Chains A and B, each alone.
Chain A
Amino acid sequence: METLALLVDGFSVALSPQNLFLAVVGCFLGTLMGALPGLGPANGVAILIPIAFSLGLGPIPSLILLTSVYYGAMYGGRISSILLNIPGDEPAMMTCLDGYPMAKNGQAGEALSLGGIASFFGAFVATIGLVILAPQLVKIALLFGPAEYFVLFTVAFATLGGVSSTNQAKSAFAAALGLGIAMIGSDSQTGSQRFTFGEIHLFDGIDFLIAIVGLFALSEVLIFLEHHRGGAVGSAGATKVGRILPDFGMIKRCLPSIARGTGLGFFSGVLPGAGASLGSFLAYSLEKQSVDRDGKSFGKGDPRGVAAPEAGNNAAAGGALVPMLSLGVPGSGTTAVLLAVLLQLNITPGPLLFTKNPDVVWGLIAALFIGNIILLLMNVPLVGLFTRVLLVPTRILMPVVAMISFVGIYSITGSTFDVMLMVGFGFAGWLLRKLDVPLVPVILGILLGNQMEVNLRRAMTISDGDWLALVGSPLAIILWLIAIAGFVLPMFVGRRVKDRMDAQRHDEEASVGD
């Protein structure tokens, strides 16, 4: 009951005219970015963070704006999957399999609105799940001491590669790289200068926003330059939508698929290292196995094959917020970017957030509910508006995206050195992506590095330098076991899962993060 009262307070925060307006803007921008191939939720949020802060918005309004973008991008991903067979972001790739055939059968509008409804259902149920599950997880997290926290961060890094990771050494390298970058600057405990070599720009460390925007957004521009020359991703013919509302018979037939997809998606969102891509993959393949064993209709435009993965990826997006908010440990690229939002606002997520800043947590959750309703309204009747965006040629769009990222970073730091550093990160990101080194652990390392070290040193101070304190409690030992299992398991099954995912989606392009 206490939760309910807090949620009501949250709604009173989120329903203020300014916040409602920001939610609408965020949902709109998010859907737009999700719809554009190459600009996933992680990129979208990353580019907008510095801009939201330069505008001088308070913590709750900026949080509402940016999480609306996050949910919006998850909705928008389906648009180009269905119309063009190009996933707008990675989690949307399973939607291509049946969405595009539906569009070819002249059912594009129905596929889009069905996807919108499935997204709504998935995200809505997942947000309810977040309300129920997060406070429970907080109770466990309150038992954590510094040693347990240090191990928890290790769990986050060990599982981040995900079950589809094929080379765990590369995930570990990426994490160490990020942690290494985080060490640059003044040591927070003793004030010693580390790795600055007398360079004054480095005394405060490297701002994580510079790294995020460079690694995610600019490297995407370079990838584009390498692969895509020329015209619009869509053509006028491909974006014919047809009738928009699906008949209710179809929705009714899809309801069980939506429900199953939601359950699986939420589950994989909460688990560390799974994320939205796996959520939609699981939802699709299990749906296929349970209703279409012989492969008669799936892949040929079965509406259930659109409903299940769409519900799955949106439910996973909501589920991923559970560990991010209650433990402060994100499980995917996009939630890592949302963590960056919180850190930039000087809000440290984790159990204390729920007790110290309940208005932030519950305002945010209420905003998610409201955002969902706005998105449903925007995405079902107005979907035609968003399909027009696909007509803008990428040769014009991508440079504009690059310039807006520059504007964001410059306006927040006011230093050309930082802008150059961002370009450096962009090129490094391109190189790392070519070498198949995941970028999300790098980002997470930069974000969590200092906290991880502080917890280690606190644990050592408490134990007076006894390193065995790290395995000193049953809770810590359980976390170590999870970390080891999460790191070792993909070495055996990673290749198989990856091959199955690849086999399903052929060799489609996908963007970073999920």
Chain B
Amino acid sequence: MSDRIFGGFGLALAIFYIWAASIIKDSFMVDVVGPRAFPYIVGTVLGLTSLYFIIRPDEEPKWPGLRDFAEILFATAVMFLYAWSLSEIGFVIATTFATAYLTWRLGTTPLWSLVVGLLTAIGIYVVFHLILGLALAEGPLGF
């Protein structure tokens, strides 16, 4: 069943892709096949393979239980939030909390997670920013 749903999504994606390819505007430069031909081929392959998933699905994969699935979703959400907050609150604070969340969810006690988070943030800041000179996100506090 999972494969059938996946195939359905794939097919929708393929149709959308081909439609999006069809509205590509020509520029003043032109060549023989134009900018749409290759995307059409790619979209067709996407569509055909998706049809195959619908017709002949594989065995059901081992999905995680609802709790584990929520775990994955939350982790993804936290990482999104992390990416967004980087420029708002700066690298060190954002990293402390994001690392703490992940270590906590992987089984560390909450207090130790915060310690690990802080140490990771400071460690990365020192090694990558102060020693190696990489640009990290700066918040209002400057770090």
Residue ranges of A at the interface with B (Cβ–Cβ < 8 Å): 51, 54-55, 166-167, 169-170, 172-173, 175-177, 179-180, 183, 187, 189-195, 197, 218, 221-222, 224-226, 228-231, 393-396, 398-400, 402-404, 406-407, 410-411, 414, 416, 419-420, 422-423, 426-427, 430, 434-436, 452-453, 456-457, 460-461, 464-465
- Central interface residue in B35, B46, B116, by most chain A CB within 10 Å: B35
Determine the chain B residues whose CB is within 8 A of the CB of A224 once the complex forms: 106
> Is the Cβ of A180 less than 8 Å from the Cβ of B108?
no
Q: A51-B134, A183-B39 are in contact. Are A192 and B26 (CB under 8 A)?
A: yes
State whether A416 touches B61 (Cβ < 8 A): no
Identify 8 residue pairs between A and B in the complex whose beta-carbon atoms are under 8 Å apart, listed by A's number: A172-B45, A180-B46, A183-B21, A183-B42, A192-B25, A192-B27, A194-B24, A226-B72
The smallest C-beta distance from A69 to any residue of chain B, in angstroms, reads 16
A395 touches B99 (CB 8 A): no
CB distance from B50 to the nearest CB of A (A): 7
B93 at the interface (CB under 8 A from A): no
- Judge whether B95 and A403 touch: CB under 8 Å: yes
Which 10 residue pairs across A and B have the least CB separation, nearest first?
Answer: A395-B106, A399-B102, A419-B83, A173-B49, A176-B45, A411-B134, A169-B52, A187-B35, A453-B38, A190-B29
Q: Which B residues are CB-close (under 8 A) to A402?
A: 79, 99, 102
Residues of B near A457 (CB, < 8 A) are 31-33, 37-38
With known contacts A456-B33, A461-B31, A193–B24 Cβ distance under 8 A:
yes
Q: Which of chain B's residues have a CB closer than 8 A to the CB of A226?
A: 64, 68, 71-72
State whether B79 touches A426 (Cβ < 8 A).
yes
Measured CB to CB, the nearest residue on chain B to A411 is: B134
- Chain A residues within an 8 Å CB radius of B2: 435
Q: Which chain A residues border B75 with CB–CB below 8 Å?
A: 221-222, 225
Closest to B108 in A: A395
Residue pair B20, A195 in contact (C-beta under 8 Å): yes
Residues of B within 8 A of A229 (CB): 106-107
In the complex formed, the residue of A with least CB distance to B50 is: A173
Q: Mark B76-111, 1 if CB is under 8 A from A, else 0.
A: 100110111011000000010011001101111000
Residues in A neighbouring B10, C-beta threshold 8 A: 173
Asked if B35 contacts A190 (CB within 8 A), the reply is: yes
A435 near B99: Cβ-Cβ < 8 Å: no
Q: Which of A394, A403, A465 contacts B32 (CB 8 A)?
A: A465
Interface hits, B12-35 → A, CB 8 Å: 17, 20-21, 24-27, 29-35
Per the bound structure, the CA–CA distance linking A192 and B26 in Å amounts to: 6
Let me know if B76 and A167 touch, CB within 8 A. no
Complex contacts, B124 vs chain A, CB 8 Å: 403-404, 407
Known: A416-B87, A465-B33. Is A225-B71 also a contact (CB below 8 A)? yes
Choice from B6, B39, B84, B86 contacting A435 with Cβ under 8 Å: B6
Q: In the bound complex, how far is the Cα of B133 from the Cα of A419, in angstroms?
A: 19
